[in-house]
Amino acid sequence: MIQQLVDFGAYSVPGFALIALAFAGFKAVQTAKQDPGTEEMQTIARRIQEGAMAFLKTEYTWLAGFVLIVAVLLGVANSFGGPESDQTPLIAVSFVLGAVASGLAGFIGMRIATLANVRTTFAARKGMTAALAVSFSGGSVMGFTVVGLALLGLGLLYIGYVEGASFLFPSASESVNPLSFALNALTGFSMGASSIALFARVGGGIYTKAADVGADLVGKVESGLPEDDPRNPAVIADNVGDNVGDVAGMGADLFESYVGAIIGTMVLGLGLYLNMDENASIGPIVLPLLIAGAGVITSILGTLAVRTHEDGNPQHALDMGAFGAAGLTALATFGLAWAVWPEEGIKTTIGSATATVQWWGVGVATVIGLAVGVAVGLITAYYCSMGKKPVNSIAMQSKTGHATNIIAGLGVGMESTAAPMLLIAGGVLASYQVAGLYGIAIAALGMLSTTGIQLAVDAFGPIADNAGGIAEMSHQAPEIRERTDRLDAVGNTTAAIGKGFAIASAAMTALALFAAFSQQARLGDSGIDILEPKVMAGVFVGGMLPFLFSSLAMKAVGDAAMEMIEEVRRQFREIEGLLAGTAEPDTARCVDISTRAAIKRMMVPGLLAVLTPVVIGVTFGPQALGGLLAGVTVSGVAMAIFMSNAGGAWDNAKKSFEGGGFKMPDGTVLEKGSEAHDAAVVGDTVGDPFKDTAGPSLNILVKLISVVALVIAPIIAVGGNFTPLWSLLFN
């Protein structure tokens, strides 16, 4: 063990954060100074950017109110901890900062993504290499802004709380370690990030599909305009939706997972620290911060390694960067764990026995986490990829009509839950076996340590997608469209892998937070026994939530789409000369209306997610809340995989008929416009709210409920001065 690294470690984190931010800034400048193209291209791009910013403005206005209310509640609720409690109202400060950091990252990332799209279109004139460079640079800004702001906030708060401990936590006595206060206060940061993620993913998910439906139904079907026609008032909103959902939404999602995994691991590290008898080392608390720091460096190296030549496959370039960074981080984790872990190992309980966790166990857990994340991503890609068996089976079943297409898609989605769930279960078992509960959290962090490049790859997709749209709208030459199409196809694959990865990381993060919750709620001795009916009842309620939440999200899409449709119809009716092309549509109003509709309609599912754990925890106590977490995690992860993959598979089953057509086993070729293609279009439409609204929102549901539980854990802790309402009722 290198004591100085342990002591100094955490203080280096803001430095790594600034490196990440500097790299993001460098990439932002690099992107911005690219040629933005012709006047026509710039006009279109400006509208998309204005729309995206309008969405963020409305979202953040609502968010500000939400964050303030919750911050006050958090501050007040944590002001009455007894002497044995580690409650502190500072948790409200962390909460606000977490929300601000995630919100700022979303703002910057989306701003740059909406600059990068048009520049990618223009760069495609020069060739593939240039187009990839611009779009991936744009994505990198999102990736490294998320990582940088997350680490900056976490690092500064941790240092501030620990350094100012005697001043900030005056009630810290011998019975409660100041580090307990500090880490408990820090959990608010994770909850703040979760709140943004809730708005970005659920609100953004509703927005993007409402705009999509509005643009398609009134513009294309009713008015006969072609796709992406500038006369369609909703077409800008539709393009905005891609950014809102896939850039800002995914960014906030991974921001939440990243922060959740780091904090979850730190809290479990605190548990190890408090249990050490002599020579107690804060190594386990500092290690996650150091791994995250190393991840910044390896992600930058990976990003720099992404380059392709004109005939090369951009996919390989991206893979090399991402896998390279992951491999380097795994190596670094072994080194860091060796450096900060006590030589004699740390004693903990594994199963019913006492075991000693060694530094290499921590390294192995990282590798397990990485392997599970990559494997789940690849499985997702398999189930959603054109030409593979699952998608082909849906395309084949489209021949006998709409119903068989739908049944096949639902079947594929359900089947696709099996391998990922088994892998996650295996990952949990294996990482626990090598490093206890801490190992599970480290596995989650292993998945997320290279969030910088991972998110860069994810955000590259919608930029390439937008670039293609701008090329189409501004009537570029065919070879340019062809290049952006190739990039877009790569983006679809990375998006599929990214979605699987996001679900797997959400699952592991939720489990890490769950373990941290159980420690903070002092459930270590009593455990959470499923045989206790209140726990089982909690599992039932938790298992039901993802179903209710999904139905609310899908219904919200339908209702918001209706408002959008009304507005588009109104503009066609009231703005003279719109269809003739002599008048401009009021695209901003469309954006505004669907923004408001989306934000309004995410309130009920949002409140459900925030309030359920509080109500269950306060009424029935921490064990029942533990049951709720288990139920919501398992059923939420299964439903998320089911819905995301069914949606992705339907999408590509439809695409199978486009281009050269789909070849049936008997040799006949079914093309676009065939009845089978019609059926596949219906499947794709059903899949849209599945894969872009309900599915990704479940990631947030699962993590948010876990982090709320962690935050309220000290309040409802067993042995504290809190009496569950339940016991008042019955005893």
Min dist. Cβ of residue 651 to its own copies (A): 13
Residue closer to its own copies (CB basis): 67 or 713: 713
Which of 98, 84, 155 has the alpha carbon at shortest distance from 707?
98
730 touches its own copies (CB under 8 A): yes
Residue closer to its own copies (CB basis): 582 or 731: 731
**Range in contact with its own copies (rule: CB under 8 A) among 2-10, 283-291, 357-365, 551-559:** 551-559
User: What residues from 282 to 311 belong to the interface with its own copies (CB under 8 A)?
Assistant: none
485 CB-side CA count, 13 A: 9
Helix (H) or strand (E) holding 389: helix 389-397
Pairing between β-strand 669-670 and β-strand 346-350 as defined by DSSP bridges: unpaired
Residue closer to its own copies (CB basis): 47 or 534: 534
User: What residues from 440 to 479 belong to the interface with its own copies (CB under 8 A)?
Assistant: 440
| Contact between residue 355 and residue 436 where contact means Cβ atoms under 8 Å apart | yes
Which of 195, 105, 190 has the alpha carbon at shortest distance from 144?
105
Chain position carrying tokens 């970005």:
200
Please state, in angstroms and rounded to a whole number, the distance separating the CA atoms of residues 546 and 705: 11
**Range in contact with its own copies (rule: CB under 8 A) among 46-54, 240-248, 553-561, 653-661:** 553-561
What is the DSSP secondary structure assignment for residue 523, as one 8-state letter?
A: -
Residue closer to its own copies (CB basis): 498 or 538: 538
Which of 681, 655, 599 has the alpha carbon at shortest distance from 405?
681
483 touches its own copies (CB under 8 A): no
User: What residues from 154 to 193 belong to the interface with its own copies (CB under 8 A)?
Assistant: none
User: What residues from 413 to 432 belong to the interface with its own copies (CB under 8 A)?
Assistant: 413-415, 417-418, 421-422, 424-426, 428-429, 432
| Contact between residue 459 and residue 251 where contact means Cβ atoms under 8 Å apart | yes
Helix (H) or strand (E) holding 348: strand 346-350
User: What residues from 16 to 45 belong to the interface with its own copies (CB under 8 A)?
Assistant: none
Residue 363 makes CB contacts below 8 A (sequence gap 6+) with 330, 333, 334, 337, 338
User: What residues from 57 to 96 belong to the interface with its own copies (CB under 8 A)?
Assistant: none
Chain position carrying tokens 């380097």:
328
Displacement of CA 665 from its chain's centroid (Å):
39
535 touches its own copies (CB under 8 A): yes
529 touches its own copies (CB under 8 A): yes
408 touches its own copies (CB under 8 A): yes
Residue closer to its own copies (CB basis): 49 or 208: 208
Residue closer to its own copies (CB basis): 197 or 686: 686
Residue 347 makes CB contacts below 8 A (sequence gap 6+) with 275, 276, 354, 355, 356, 357
Which of 479, 272, 241, 453 has the alpha carbon at shortest distance from 357?
272
User: What residues from 317 to 356 belong to the interface with its own copies (CB under 8 A)?
Assistant: 351-353
Min dist. Cβ of residue 444 to its own copies (A): 13
| Contact between residue 682 and residue 410 where contact means Cβ atoms under 8 Å apart | no
**Range in contact with its own copies (rule: CB under 8 A) among 14-22, 84-92, 374-382, 542-550:** 542-550
- If one counts every other C-beta atom within 10 angstroms of the C-beta of residue 229, the result is 16
Per CB under 8 A, the list member of 297, 384, 391, 412 interacting with its own copies is: 412
3-state secondary structure of 528: coil
Q: Which conformational region is residue 37 in: left (phi greater than 0), alpha (psi within -120 to 50 degrees), or beta?
A: left
Q: Two tokens at 612?
A: 């359920």
**Range in contact with its own copies (rule: CB under 8 A) among 119-127, 158-166, 537-545, 661-669:** 537-545
Min dist. Cβ of residue 429 to its own copies (A): 5
532 touches its own copies (CB under 8 A): yes
Please state, in angstroms and rounded to a whole number, the distance separating the CA atoms of residues 288 and 653: 42
Residue 154 makes CB contacts below 8 A (sequence gap 6+) with 13, 186, 189, 259, 262, 263, 289
Min dist. Cβ of residue 433 to its own copies (A): 6
547 touches its own copies (CB under 8 A): yes
| Contact between residue 150 and residue 12 where contact means Cβ atoms under 8 Å apart | no
**Range in contact with its own copies (rule: CB under 8 A) among 484-492, 511-519, 591-599, 705-713:** 511-519
Per CB under 8 A, the list member of 324, 446, 543, 647 interacting with its own copies is: 543
Helix (H) or strand (E) holding 415: helix 402-415
Min dist. Cβ of residue 730 to its own copies (A): 6
Residue closer to its own copies (CB basis): 19 or 565: 565
Which of 450, 449, 427 has the alpha carbon at shortest distance from 440?
427
Residue closer to its own copies (CB basis): 136 or 383: 383
Pairing between β-strand 353-357 and β-strand 669-670 as defined by DSSP bridges: unpaired
Amino acid at 121: T
Per CB under 8 A, the list member of 347, 402, 569, 570 interacting with its own copies is: 402
Angle, CA 705 vertex, CA 699 and CA 707 arms, to 5°: 100
Min dist. Cβ of residue 607 to its own copies (A): 15
124 touches its own copies (CB under 8 A): no
17 vs 24, 136, 333, CA distance in Å? 11, 21, 18
Per CB under 8 A, the list member of 518, 595, 644, 656 interacting with its own copies is: 518
| Size of site (CB under 8 A) for its own copies | 80
**Range in contact with its own copies (rule: CB under 8 A) among 49-57, 120-128, 397-405, 448-456:** 397-405
Burial classification of residue 33, based on how many CB atoms lie within 10 Å of its CB (0-12 exposed, 13-18 middle, 19 or more buried): exposed
631 touches its own copies (CB under 8 A): yes
User: What residues from 213 to 232 belong to the interface with its own copies (CB under 8 A)?
Assistant: 217
**Range in contact with its own copies (rule: CB under 8 A) among 94-102, 175-183, 379-387, 532-540:** 532-540
Q: Two tokens at 597?
A: 């509709």
527 touches its own copies (CB under 8 A): yes
686 touches its own copies (CB under 8 A): yes
407 touches its own copies (CB under 8 A): yes
397 touches its own copies (CB under 8 A): yes
Per CB under 8 A, the list member of 195, 635, 656, 706 interacting with its own copies is: 635
Angle, CA 127 vertex, CA 126 and CA 128 arms, to 5°: 150
User: What residues from 641 to 680 belong to the interface with its own copies (CB under 8 A)?
Assistant: 642
410 touches its own copies (CB under 8 A): yes
Min dist. Cβ of residue 177 to its own copies (A): 22
541 touches its own copies (CB under 8 A): yes
Residue closer to its own copies (CB basis): 273 or 650: 650
